[in-house]
Amino acid sequence: TVLGEIKPTQFIEMPPMLVNIVKQFTGQEPMLSLVDECVAANEIENVLDTSIAEGYPYADVEEMGMSWITITDGDAELAEKTSKDLAASAWTKRIDLNEPVLSISDALKQAEERYVGPKPEGVENFMPTDGSALATPEKNEHSHLGPIVLMDVGDNIGGGSSADSTHILKVAQEMGIKRYLQSLYDPDSVEACVAAGVGAELALDVGGKTDDMHGEPIHVVGTVSVIDDGPYEETRPTHGGGRFYDDGQRVIFNTVDGMTILLTSARSGNTARAQMYSMGINPEDYRVIVAKGVSSPRPAYQPIAAEIIIVNSPGVTSADLDTFEFKSRRIPLYPFEEPVYPA
């Protein structure tokens, strides 16, 4: 180093395994304990720092997968041992780190079964003020109340998806689910609603227009209730500390079968409840809310949710990695193959 006080020596261990995107939330198991182990390793004498990299499971590169880096003060053997010990611990949890999540139909059925009713007005689950997302908020007498929030993993806007997936909407419509809330990117439908005006009744084919991976347009009949230019501000905790947002011109469309759809002309995620409040919509009043993402909507919706359900929906960011054709990844690599580790 510049001061000559330490001699950083590092080692990286890359076990042949992935952690699925739906298991990468560090506020709950199995990642929670792995992060705790990594933090504890920093207290080992001569260890300067340890880091865990979950790895992006959609990155089709040879380095794809989890890794651990340990930096010591001149002790190469300790750096190697620490990284390998941490990786070995994760290897014992490889099944949990890639556990399948619910299908769309099963998730919607579970949501319908588990919805009890709304929380009292103004009551939320306990959440930290720093914006971090707790996997299991502190329980209170109202924790079981509130909407059931479904994470639409296959249409994760932050991961580069289309924002107009209709896979969950289609099944929800077929099941006749009422008091259902979600957003969809659909400039054409926004334009039609704006032309018709607030209060207009019309039929639309919404969503599913970007590509052939995120469902087909869904026919809905309903009423335009709100038209807005798009910008809004969120002062509550959000993923990444976001505050100022812009959905582009947008409308609220209430269908005759009890669904509320926020139609936007910009691809927008669901990381701030102000997105709905600014349109006169109270998410707390709904039974089922679809949030497009994996972890980023948590700080916004966990305070009001009775439960968050991760959904294995199709799409470019699907949790089902078998739907993708990888050409450059390592072989063998768990969960695609069953490698022997340590070798």
Q: Is residue 267 over pLDDT 90? A: yes
Q: How many residues are listed for the chain in this entry?
A: 343
Q: Closest by alpha carbon to 150, among 294, 324, 29? A: 294
Is the pLDDT at 278 greater than 60, yes or no? yes
Report percent pLDDT > 90 for the chain.
87
- For residue 128, pLDDT over 60 is answered with no
* Residue 138 pLDDT > 70: no
Do 118 and 93 share a structural domain? Answer: no
- Beta carbons of 309 and 148 less than 8 angstroms apart: yes
Same-domain status, 185 and 113: yes
| Domain boundary residue, one of 37, 63, 98 | 98
What average pLDDT does the segment 305-321 reach?
96
158-178 pLDDT tens trace: 899 999 999 999 999 999 999
| 288 and 152 together in one domain | yes
Residue indicated by tokens 């079981």: 144
Q: Helical H runs in the chain?
A: 31-41, 76-91, 104-114, 167-175, 187-196, 274-277, 298-301
User: For residue 136, what pLDDT band results from cuts at 50, 70 and 90?
Assistant: low
pTM: 0.91
Residues 163 and 16 in one domain: no
> Do 43 and 153 lie in a common domain?
no
Are 181 and 278 members of one domain? Answer: yes
Are 182 and 36 in a shared domain?
Answer: no
- In the predicted model, is pLDDT for residue 237 greater than 70? yes
Domain end position, chosen among 98, 127, 154: 98
Confidence of residue 227 (pLDDT cuts 50, 70, 90): very high
Q: Do residues 227 and 283 share a domain?
A: yes
Full domain range(s) for residue 284: 104-318
Asked if pLDDT for residue 130 goes beyond 70, the answer is no
- φ, ψ dihedrals at 244, nearest 5°: -105, 125
Same-domain check for residues 61 and 116:
no
Of the candidates 40, 65, 98, which is a domain's last residue?
Answer: 98
Q: Are 182 and 65 found together in one domain? A: no
pLDDT digits (tens, 9 = 90+) for 240-255: 889 999 999 999 999 9
In a domain, 326, yes or no: no
Record the tokens describing residue 122, joined without a space.
Answer: 């103004």
129: confidence class by pLDDT, cuts 50, 70, 90: low
Inside any domain, residue 342: no
Same domain, 24 and 79: yes
- Categorize the per-residue pLDDT at 137 as very low, low, confident or very high, splitting at 50, 70 and 90: low
Contact 23, 135 (CB under 8 A): no
Mean pLDDT over 83-98 rounds to 98
| The two three-digit tokens of residue 17, written as one number | 């395994």
Kindly give, in sequence order, each residue whose CB lies less than 8 Å from that of residue 4, ignoring residues fewer than 6 positions away. none
- Are residues 22 and 37 located together in one domain of the fold? yes
pLDDT(211) > 90: yes
For residue 85, what are its two tokens? 């010990």
Judge whether 327 lies within some domain.
no
pLDDT of residue 122: 85
Establish if 334 belongs to a structural domain: no
Burial annotation 83-114 (CB, 10 A radius, 16+ → b, else e): bbebbeebbebbeebbeebbebeebbebbbee
For residue 79, the domain's CATH number is: 3.30.70
Mean pLDDT over the full length of the chain: 94
**Which of 63-77, 134-148, 208-222 has the weakest average pLDDT?**
134-148
| Spatial separation of the C-alpha atoms in residues 13 and 84, rounded to whole Å | 6
* Higher pLDDT pick, 106 / 26: 106
The pLDDT, as a whole number, for residue 72 is 98
Question: Domain tally for the chain?
Answer: 2
> Over 80: is that where the pLDDT of 212 sits?
yes
For residue range 3-62, what is the model confidence (pLDDT) as tens digits?
888 999 999 999 999 999 999 999 889 999 999 999 999 999 999 999 999 999 999 999
> Is 3 a member of any domain?
no
